[in-house]
Amino acid sequence: MSAVIISAVSTHQAFAFFVILYEHPFNERIRTYLRLEYLLGRFEHLLLRSSEIDHHFALTTLFEIVDVGGRSDLKSDILKELERHKQQFNSYRGNPSVAEAVLDELLANIEKCLQGFNTQSARISNCISDSDFLSSLRNRVAVPGGTCAFDLPSYHAWQQRDADVRRHDILKWSEPLKTLHDSVNLLMRLLRESGSPQRVVAQQGQFQQALPQGRFQMMRLFIDESMGLVPEISGNRMMVWVRLIHQTWEGKPQTAVGNAEFEIELCA
């Protein structure tokens, strides 16, 4: 099976040294969640800024979110996952080892997401298609340089508005995505919290591990940044492979020589 570069990367401080976190999904549903999480985070980050360039890319990111999140089966997948978690956590009622206040808060968040989808009658893509202004902008974004002033004078005029006014407009247009945003963040948080860390060794830069069929949905991999290694990961529900490479950023990458220790978490 050909190697697939990880779909989401972030950095954080862990252990006694600086590590880079890589996440790799084992199925299409989690792959979609990770893409949405990445896009929604970028959208929020750009929206906090005030320049017209940042708000331009906030809108192009909004179009990407609609493209990824507008699949007809995505809503049903999310609802099934929320219901599964609701039943699972409801079964913990009365367990003396479970904090009732924390459980109540979690179940309230799940119920809020469920109600948000149940009361949302329109498709997510309608936030774009119902607006002539956004629809024309979306069509021109696909053309290199297609949103300059002579192509879209109305968009040029909108960009000259006060930053707070632009931000208010974008928030209004993106309002139908709020339930999607909350649900994806909640499901990914629960998935990540299900993982337990284990130290492993890649011998001669190679690591593989068999998985119980269908049990795990994602792997998280933590590598010490000072090692200068980048993982190429491929995997499915039954097996995961990791090849560590030295990435020089110039020339061809080379497979790592010798043994390298790192940490993984398998998330169910």
Average pLDDT over residues 242-247: 92
Q: Provide the pLDDT for residue 255.
A: 87
Inform me whether the pLDDT recorded for 42 exceeds 70. Answer: yes
Q: Provide the pLDDT for residue 1.
A: 33
Q: Provide the pLDDT for residue 122.
A: 73
**Structural domain total, the chain:** 1
Amino acid at 248: T
CATH of the domain at 113: 1.10.3900.10
218: Cβ–Cβ under 8 A, 6 or more apart, which residues? 23, 24, 25, 26, 30, 191, 192, 195, 266, 267
> How many Cα atoms occupy the beta-carbon half-sphere of 168 within 13 Å?
6
- Give the containing element (helix H, strand E) for 105: helix 100-118
Q: Is residue 64 part of a domain?
A: yes
- Give the containing element (helix H, strand E) for 114: helix 100-118
* Domain span at 162: 33-188
Q: Provide the pLDDT for residue 17.
A: 64
Report the distance separating Cα 54 and Cα 66, nearest Å.
18
Q: How confident is the model at residue 237 (pLDDT cuts 50, 70, 90)?
A: confident
Inform me whether the pLDDT recorded for 192 exceeds 90. Answer: yes
Q: Is residue 103 part of a domain?
A: yes
Task: Quick: pLDDT tens for 143-171.
Answer: 999 999 999 999 999 999 999 999 999 99
Inform me whether the pLDDT recorded for 3 exceeds 60. Answer: no
Amino acid at 247: Q
Task: Quick: pLDDT tens for 173-191.
Answer: 999 999 999 999 999 999 9
**Dihedral through CA 27, CA 259, CA 192, CA 71, nearest 10?**
-30
Q: How confident is the model at residue 22 (pLDDT cuts 50, 70, 90)?
A: very high
Q: Provide the pLDDT for residue 9.
A: 43
Q: Is residue 26 part of a domain?
A: no
Share of the chain above pLDDT 90, in %: 78
Lowest mean pLDDT among 41-45, 70-74, 261-265: 70-74
Q: Provide the pLDDT for residue 6.
A: 38
Q: Provide the pLDDT for residue 51.
A: 97
Q: Is residue 77 part of a domain?
A: yes
Q: Is residue 90 part of a domain?
A: yes
Lowest mean pLDDT among 98-112, 113-127, 215-229, 231-245: 113-127
Q: Is residue 122 part of a domain?
A: yes
Tell me the whole-structure pTM to 2 decimals.
0.88
Token pair in block for residue 42: 């970028």
Greater pLDDT, 31 or 72: 31
Average pLDDT over residues 98-116: 96
Contact 229/244 with Cβ under 8 angstroms?
yes
Q: Is residue 147 part of a domain?
A: yes
Q: Is residue 177 part of a domain?
A: yes
